[in-house]
Structure 1
Amino acid sequence: MNDPIRLGLLRLCDAAPVILARQEGMFAEAGLRVELSVEPSWANIADKLAYGMLEGAVMLPPLAMACAAGLRGRPVDLVVPMSLSTNGNGFTLANACREVFEHDGMAALAARKRLRLAVVHGFSSHDLLLRHWLAGQGVMPERDVDITVLPPAEMVGSLAAGAIDGFCAGAPWWLVAAHAGMGFTACLSRDIWSGHPEKCLALRGDFASGGAERLTALLRVLLRAQQACTEPAGRAKLAALLARPEYLDLPASLLAQALDETQGGPAFTAPYPSIRQAQWYARQMRRWGKAPAGLEEVTARLYRPDLFELAGGRGEDEALPPDETYIE
């Protein structure tokens, strides 16, 4: 169990369980050598998983599906044995959009100007939830707005520069924009699908099959770390940890607010790797022309609740996906 386990992550609040487990010595206590690799983009994460430069990562479920299905290059043998976070994303619009949005709605805003909106990756919960929300507002993606891709940490600067009119990203970036006076939060992802799976643990198949003892130990540590992240009394300490330069490099006071799930931050209370919930994302990917038929079957093989249960995990997929009716 002494070979290093390299886990990739981005500068996001929902990486908190992995960071906490590393910094508090939880991995070491379980006999695991875990190295964290903070990456600049989701593309970096996916590429490093594909080429064996990481054993696992804090991952977007749709991106894990796309990698497993070969939608962004050759298929990658991955497994998803647990979910790491739910909710936590926010849709931010530039201040110039506020009056029309609040008085007349999103459809009126899109009718006045062709908006350029950014998401964190083309295969992301952010993209799919934003599209679902826009369609429900009578705004059809591609037809009525342009959707582009930017790394989460570049969103606020791009909004300030006028390069985009809005973005959907995870905590803390929508809160950073609001605190900086660069934009306002138009919608939280929990308002689109309350309890939606947000980040998962994705592991290379060769690592997952290379030793049941090490895999079980890893999952048990992360389940323990998730529980620690839910404690309100520890939020200030957790925020101070995430604020360190090697992680999010932002004020701890802001991160404490971003970690508050009652204010729209990520929750760490639903670790069950739900196939049913993941398949909602798979259907959305087909709906928007991002995946062919058959992705649901790939997802059913990718998600491994059996591994979760072997590690002592308990739970079920309680958060029902939203209605899939669209306005054309």
Structure 2
Amino acid sequence: MSGPVRIGVLRLVDSAPIVVAERRGIFRTLGIDVRVQVEPSWSNLADKLSYGLLQAAVLLPPLAMAATLGLRGPKARLLVPLSISQGGNAIAMATDAAAAIEAAGGIRAWLQDRREPPRLAVVHAFSTHNLLLRYWLAASGVDPDRDVETVVIPPETVVDALAAGEVAGFCAGAPWGDVAARNGAGRVLFGTSHLWPHHPEKCLAVGQGWADANGPDLSLLLRGILQAQRICDCAEEAEAVAALLAAPEALGLPLEATRAALAGGDGTEQIRFHGGGAWMPARPHALWFLRQMQRWRWIGADEDLPAIAETLYRPDLAIRAALAEGMLPPPPLEPMPETELCAP
């Protein structure tokens, strides 16, 4: 082993497999020294991963793509050898805004009665949240670049921003949508799995230089996460996993809302970590995100999207680690949404 493997995470339920693998000694049993670092924002994670201060991070797929394409600074050399989670996001609005949207019969009609575009928060410009929010708005007849104002707020502070009236709504990962509802700061309109059932959400991104030089450590890292993903998908483990994530020395997440987002919970969405091939970094999924990024002119029309997906997403590494764990190959991919979609 070349030294400790530093993995960055945010205070989100999606971070569960990393925390479980570290806190339950799974990494240690496999013989790999992993140090989990909790960061305050997606930008922090991406910057530290890009400059080698982290060897790995739980990242947003579009952010990993943006970093490798040089959309947020110098091009980063990253790989995505594993998917971490599916689903889990919520689109929430301030209570009065949610009621007005419902009374108007939809967000497009509500917007027509407003003098100024409402401010909606996403957790990063290059995020699944932003792309799925835009997908819903466009399907509802709303122009995301003209009819609303989009701002970036880190997930752990987005509920405070909603409660303070700084934003009219947000799209963020668990547990923050349910926290807003439980605190009376707003109402959840729907979970993003209504747009794309079991959509890919967070991925594991690693520095390519580190991966190339530390193949055995990377394999052990993936095996430990795969073991933890199985645990995080078990309803009978959900209470213990939620307690672990809520511990101040771990992530300090709100206990009830965290439990609600895990298997067997009663939240807006239950995150899937392992079942249905949730661990597979599928290149068709990468292509869907890339095409949406191209749709909104974040990347040029002349970019070779299949080549980008093939270079960044490495299902071969995931499958090799899964086989070492005695896992079966993943099932066929579930259907993905087309360009147009009827709004929920």
Specify the code of the residue in structure 2 equivalent to 1:105.
G
Equivalence for 1:62 = 62
CA contact (8 A) 2:233 2:263 kept: no
Equivalence for 2:136 = 133
Quote the Cα distance in structure 2 between the aligned partners of 1:27 and 1:324.
Answer: 41
- Any residues of structure 2 matched to 1:172-191 within 5 Å, and which? 172-191=175-194
1:255 CA drift (Å):
1.4
CA contact (8 A) 1:78 1:302 kept: yes
Change (3 A) 1:73 1:274: same
Point out 4+ residue stretches in structure 1 off by more than 3 angstroms.
260-263
Q: Aligned to 2:8, what secondary structure does the other structure show?
A: strand
Deviations 1:273-293 (A, max 9, x none): 100011100000011121123
Equivalence for 2:318 = 308
Are 1:279 and 2:287 counterparts?
yes
**Which segment is superposed worse, 177-186 or 308-317?**
308-317
**Which segment is superposed worse, 95-104 or 232-241?**
95-104
1:251 CA drift (Å):
3.4
Equivalence for 2:298 = 290
1:115 CA drift (Å):
1.1
CA contact (8 A) 1:274 1:317 kept: no
Unpaired runs of 5+ residues, structure 1, are none
Number of equivalences: 327
Unpaired runs of 5+ residues, structure 2, are 324-328
1:48 CA drift (Å):
0.3
Q: 1:225 aligns with which of 212, 225, 228?
A: 228
Change (3 A) 1:34 1:135: same
Quote the Cα distance in structure 1 between the aligned partners of 2:322 and 2:166.
Answer: 47
Deviations 1:102-137 (A, max 9, x none): 132111122222210000000000000000011111
Quote the Cα distance in structure 1 between the aligned partners of 2:341 and 2:261.
Answer: 31
Quote the Cα distance in structure 2 between the aligned partners of 1:66 and 1:233.
Answer: 38
Report the RMSD for the aligned CA atoms in angstroms.
Answer: 1.5
Equivalence for 2:20 = 20
- Any residues of structure 2 matched to 1:1-328 within 5 Å, and which? 1=1, 3-103=3-103, 104-113=105-114, 114-260=117-263, 263=267, 264-269=269-274, 270-293=278-301, 294=303, 296=305, 297-312=307-322, 314-316=329-331, 318-325=333-340
Quote the Cα distance in structure 2 between the aligned partners of 1:49 and 1:295.
Answer: 24
Change (3 A) 1:189 1:295: farther
Specify the code of the residue in structure 2 equivalent to 1:244.
A
Identity of aligned residues (%): 44
Quote the Cα distance in structure 2 between the aligned partners of 1:138 and 1:129.
Answer: 14
Quote the Cα distance in structure 2 between the aligned partners of 1:117 and 1:25.
Answer: 40
The normalised TM-score by structure 2 is 0.92
CA contact (8 A) 1:9 1:45 kept: yes
